[in-house]
């Protein structure tokens, strides 16, 4: 039985199209990942994703969609965040990427939970420290190592993305 696969990716003027067996595709992808073009394409895709998110946020704000509490609740539901640590990670994601708030003391995070009608985390520092230990959150340099400036790490973002596909 002849199994074949095809991968096609286009990002601006950078385009990859691969045909062949899964093994051949994997080998070609391995070579492409070492090429500068692959990195350029990945950066363009990331930028396009960020621009799309910014556009969606702007459109939502202009159209007068539901309050921040409803928006945060929708994020919690969309990502199926049932456990409190995942909800705290979602709150940081929401504050940083949607509202563009970079300084969020505990009262801001707790208020977001209250606005959404979700029980507040309580000992927020405990959750934030555990998320940092799991390398889901990082504190940017120059932020005095304070949890209120935490941002999602690539691992944290990947964790949320996996939750949304379950």
Q: What is the pLDDT of residue 120?
A: 93
For residues 34-53, give the mean pLDDT. 79
- pLDDT (tens digit per residue) in 91-144: 999 999 988 888 888 889 998 999 899 999 988 999 999 999 999 999 988 878
Q: Which residues of 102-121 are buried (b: 16+ CB within 10 A; e: fewer)?
A: eebeeeebbebbeebebebb
d(CA 62, CA 58): 6
| Run of H or E including 117 | none
Q: Which is more confident, 53 or 118?
A: 118
Do residues 124 and 108 make contact, with C-beta atoms less than 8 angstroms apart?
Answer: no
Beta strand segments in 3-148, E: 5-11, 14-20, 137-138
d(CA 65, CA 67): 7
Q: Is 103 helix (H, G, I), strand (E, B) or coil?
A: coil
Rounded (10°) CA dihedral 49, 54, 60, 62: -150
d(CA 1, CA 94): 48
The residue written with tokens 């959404």 in the block is 116
Q: What is the pLDDT of residue 146?
A: 87
Residue 29 pLDDT > 90 = no
Please, what is the average pLDDT of the chain? 84
Where residue 62 falls among pLDDT bands split at 50, 70, 90?
A: low
Q: What is the pLDDT of residue 59?
A: 67
Residue 61 pLDDT > 80 = no
> What DSSP string runs through 137-161?
EE--TTSTT-GGG-EE-HHHHHHHH
pTM score of the predicted model? 0.60
């Amino acid at each position: 039985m002849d199994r074949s696969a095809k991968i096609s990716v286009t990002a601006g003027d950078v385009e990859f199209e691969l045909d062949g067996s899964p093994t051949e595709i994997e080998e070609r992808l391995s070579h492409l990942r070492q090429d500068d073009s692959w990195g350029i394409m990945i950066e363009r895709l990331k930028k396009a994703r960020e621009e799309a998110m910014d556009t969606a946020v702007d459109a939502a704000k202009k159209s007068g969609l539901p309050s921040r509490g409803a928006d945060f609740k929708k994020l919690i539901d969309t990502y199926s965040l049932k456990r409190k640590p995942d909800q705290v990670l979602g709150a940081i994601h929401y504050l940083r990427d949607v509202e563009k708030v970079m300084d969020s003391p505990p009262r801001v995070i707790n208020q977001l939970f209250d606005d959404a009608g979700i029980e507040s985390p309580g000992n927020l520092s405990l959750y934030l420290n555990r998320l940092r230990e799991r390398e889901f959150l990082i504190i940017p340099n120059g932020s005095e190592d304070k949890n209120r400036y935490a941002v999602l790490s690539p691992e944290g973002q990947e964790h949320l993305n996996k939750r949304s596909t379950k």
